[in-house]
Structure 1
């Protein structure tokens, strides 16, 4: 009898959520969500009850925003709470090894004891351009909001092997400099920087250098992408 009541209550919660949030209903039926991701989604909906809200990134098929009382009260550190939440929901985000690939970049204290934790994604120790998860954790240690941009299952695109750069950072900088006119060069500082990234939104998941030139007035920067293997530039607008 007790299990029947619990099942009925769970069904009522799911019906209420899918009525209020069409995106959630479509996510449950989406072929892009595997069984483990669906299980994690249902667990979040169960634990959060009527507070649960979720939005999806149509391009990636992963959550772009989640809100509600997403975890229980905790006295653990903010960093521990954040990493454990991601680990428990790694299939929902399409992550293979978040304990290795999601790295904390910033923890910020907000008024009232709330904190945010910003994590960036890495793949084979190289950052993935633009991929991140940001969690908001209240004074009781409860995760109340998540913002994210995650391209799922990137390891499969590389057949679980890292790409290797042929160019050095200095060579990438020289290739980028060669594309600037003398007038443009005159407006830039003389010490550009180059950093390796995977581009998750480009076909083939290319490994590129982002070369950054700071303008002398430092009000804005000039950025170029140089393919780390082939050596050509990539248009960021494409």
Structure 2
């Protein structure tokens, strides 16, 4: 018992946590067939080698619906939560973008949140046809991140203002360009400890945007 407690204490102290736990549903094919509209439409699935969650789904992935595209997409996330290893989709999945409603296919982009903060690169792009049937789901979701962090959110020691200053100094950005910068917090799911970081984007005059990532605890620039 003491050894277990000591190991947990070391994880908290040094910021190391085990890799995300595998998804709960070991048979995504069977689970997805329960969601599908059927009708002989073949279901195709491609898994992500790193997260072991679906990277691409095609077919009739839901039944016809007259609800809004946002509702249909969120309902899919709720019903497929075991497939993607998502806890409490109502609080960890956010509608970030909805395509043109007059189009034959409407795309809804869902982002994955951890402790109310976006997870870097975690999103689902869901294509819905005129009948309200989901035809395609593409993206990446890292499963069970709350468990992987022992249900402990990360706390920043560096403010967003300080992160901007660090990034500008490191990249040699002048005051004018720094004034047009965006600073957004994210969790990095592929790094040990799943750290909280700031993504800093500089909109430079006459040049392409410059992106830097700052560790919210140490203030270091993190290469991605």
Unpaired stretches in structure 2, ≥5 consecutive residues? 1-20
Residue pair 1:41, 1:92 contacting (<8 A) in 2 also? no
Q: Deviations over 1:139-197 (max 9, x none)?
A: 1111111012111111112111211111111111111122133xx53894533221111
Equivalent residue for 2:135? 144
Q: Out of 45, 64, 68, which is 1:73 matched to?
A: 64
Bigger relative CO (Cα 8 Å, ≥ 6 apart): 2
Residue pair 1:189, 1:216 contacting (<8 A) in 2 also? no
Equivalent residue pairs, number:
201
Equivalent residue for 2:6? none
Equivalent residue for 1:156? 147
The 5-angstrom pairing of residues 118-197 of structure 1 reads 118-181=109-172, 185=174, 188-197=177-186
- Secondary structure at 2:183's aligned position in 1? strand
Cα gap change, 1:112/1:197 in structure 2, threshold over 3 Å: closer, same or farther?
closer
Instruction: Quote the RMSD (CA, aligned, Å).
Output: 2.1
- Larger gyration radius, structure 1 or structure 2: 1
> Do residues 207 (structure 1) and 207 (structure 2) align?
no
> Do residues 42 (structure 1) and 33 (structure 2) align?
no
Q: Hey, which bits of structure 1, 4+ residues long, moved more than 6 A?
A: none
Give the drift of 1:134: 1.0
Taking structure 2 as the reference length, the TM-score comes to 0.82
Equivalent residue for 1:24? none
Q: Output the CA distance in 2 between the equivalents of 1:180 and 1:106.
A: 31
Q: Out of 64, 76, 87, which is 1:85 matched to?
A: 76
